[in-house]
A and B are shown apart, each in its own frame.
Chain A
């Protein structure tokens, strides 16, 4: 059995240890950062298919803070630590060229990872808020890491929007505490189940869900994302798009809806319609972009729409599709952002018009970009196809063919926008293509190409995880969500 607090102790401890020693030893941040994320990845793989409730300080559930490990948090832990290991591996060489302070970078990076690990493990509303703030504040700083005008502006915008979200959450937590007298999520759920539903509960529900939806950047709340994600260094963009919007946004929203407030028909409709709006608006805005990273950022909004659509359907198949798409999106979107990072590293531009013919000079980057593009647009053997297919199938089975129609339209638009990416950057050339610069291009260093290769292989083969459908590897996750409020209460407070 893995000691659950290790997921929090390890990143925080190393994050504060790095600034103490690395003024003397320059190699410390690279080595320690990567070893830590690797150990965290191993630990998270060891938690697979386990359930555990950890009482911090030995205090029993409603009185003390609990860490809850179940199927859903397990999946999120694996995603967070896998992508963070890939990103930190990528950072070794990437940061050498343009950025200076590796000490601060790794310190903030590990704070962000620790905050997210804490968020997905916490079984306590206020603790969840604190961990979310740790991760968010570290990510505000990392977005503005380049310290140039655009990056600072994006970081400030992200900070303002993020803090509005956090304030909503804090206010809602305070209201819920006033209503129920407890902060333990299972205990809040137990009390809310017994008292009559009134306006205060509805108000705090709306506040807390919109607060976390700002973090997950669904369409009415998406304005910060297209600025923040492209401005960060590429490994951080991969973390933000691949993990942060899921761990701080989607995970908490579905955890609160399914395990605390209870899922019903109205909430289902809200989630599905918000999902449809973001998947269509996100992809329409993405097609218009010529900045590669900005285009990818808009796609994050659109793909989060698919996740919400699938989960919002509420059927077993729908939840399976949504969860699987969440997993797949973290793989291919972080791969795409790392690719954009390597392209930027070599060509020093993000404008699609200035690129061209990269497949001759950068074979690994081009190949992995192609794999990820096909995954995200849903071409059959790749993982993105299976999850979108399940979502579409689930919506037809649930008697909502309109949802399926919009999902197909969104998918076609995604395909067209990634055709544009491949056409201008890899196989064709843009209008401002610079031949002299192109002659000097070469493949990125090894440490940058290893994560690209690993993630491409994962993108090709993770479609196999679907074997067994709802009884397969995602079974425990579906059980957590389908079990609803009662099972969560029994798990945390029972025995």
Chain B
């Protein structure tokens, strides 16, 4: 823990981040889940998800954020989001014979499960949110890890990751 205190930004930023991170994440979830009723949706919500982790990275340093969500986990969430979206779209072929058709029953006043009042759209939003959040976070991490160094007049890409582990 002591090690963590030395990295990242000042105590004020760290404290505020510690208070706010949950709320920001929650706000992202709100935007994703209510995307079909209010302004928002999978993409903006996913960006807010990613912003939570980017804020953690900026305030506490890269290792802290990567401990919360590992690189392999992020990459798998990224793929999983895309595959879920494709599966939802393809299930339309199975149920109605048409790609991307909205096969879940839409809301009517006596309906009981109101989250799905727009059929598959909220589910699509959730998968897009997963995909966008994970991949934007990965892009940020990759940009912060990779450096271009010059040896003998030639540029070369390296990762600074191993140095950090020491």
Contact = CB atoms under 8 A, between A and B. Distances in A.
Contacts of A4: 99
Contacts of B82: 12, 16
A152 B98 CA distance: 42
Interface stretch (B3-11, B19-27, B59-67, B84-92): B84-92
B116 to A, nearest CB: 17
A20 interface: yes
B83 A17 contact: yes
Contact of B154 (A12, A54, A58, A149): A149
B86 A13 contact: yes
B93 A16 contact: no
A3 B89 CA distance: 13
Contacts of B118: none
A57 interface: yes
Nearest to B120: A57
B17 interface: no
Contact of A16 (B86, B90, B98, B102): B86
Contacts of B101: 57-58
Contacts of A149: 154-156
A9 B87 CA distance: 9
A9 B92 contact: no
A178 interface: no
A19 B78 CA distance: 10
B149 to A, nearest CB: 11
Interface centre among A58, A148, A152 (most CB of B within 10 A): A58
A23 interface: yes
Interface string B84-121: 00100110110010111110000000000000000000
Q: Is the interface of B mostly helix, strand, loop or mixed?
A: helix
A247 to B, nearest CB: 21
B86 A12 contact: yes
Given A9-B86, A12-B86, A56 B100 contact: yes
A5 interface: yes
A422 to B, nearest CB: 33
A13 B83 CA distance: 6
B96 A19 contact: no
A57 B102 contact: yes
**Chain A: interface residue count, which band?**
20 to 34
Contacts of B75: 19
A19 B79 contact: yes
Nearest to B157: A147
A55 interface: yes
Nearest to B76: A20
Contacts of A153: 155
A16 B155 contact: no
A194 to B, nearest CB: 31
A57 B154 contact: no
Given A3-B99, A148-B156, A149-B155, A57 B92 contact: yes
Contact of A5 (B96, B99, B155, B156): B99
B80 interface: yes
B72 interface: yes
Interface in A284-323: none
Contacts of A147: 156-157
Nearest to A56: B100
B8 to A, nearest CB: 30
Nearest to B151: A149
A148 B76 CA distance: 27
B158 to A, nearest CB: 10
Nearest to B154: A149
A12 B83 CA distance: 8
- Which 10 residue pairs spanning A and B have beta carbons closest together? A5-B99, A16-B82, A57-B100, A16-B79, A149-B154, A149-B155, A58-B98, A20-B79, A56-B100, A16-B83
20 contacts: A4-B99, A5-B93, A9-B90, A9-B99, A16-B82, A16-B83, A17-B79, A19-B76, A20-B80, A20-B83, A54-B99, A56-B98, A56-B99, A57-B98, A57-B100, A148-B154, A149-B156, A152-B155, A152-B157, A153-B155
Interface of A: 3-5, 9, 12-13, 16-17, 19-20, 23, 54-58, 147-149, 152-153
Given A13-B86, A16-B79, A149-B155, 13 more contacts: A5-B100, A9-B90, A17-B79, A19-B76, A20-B76, A20-B79, A20-B83, A57-B99, A57-B101, A58-B96, A147-B156, A147-B157, A148-B156
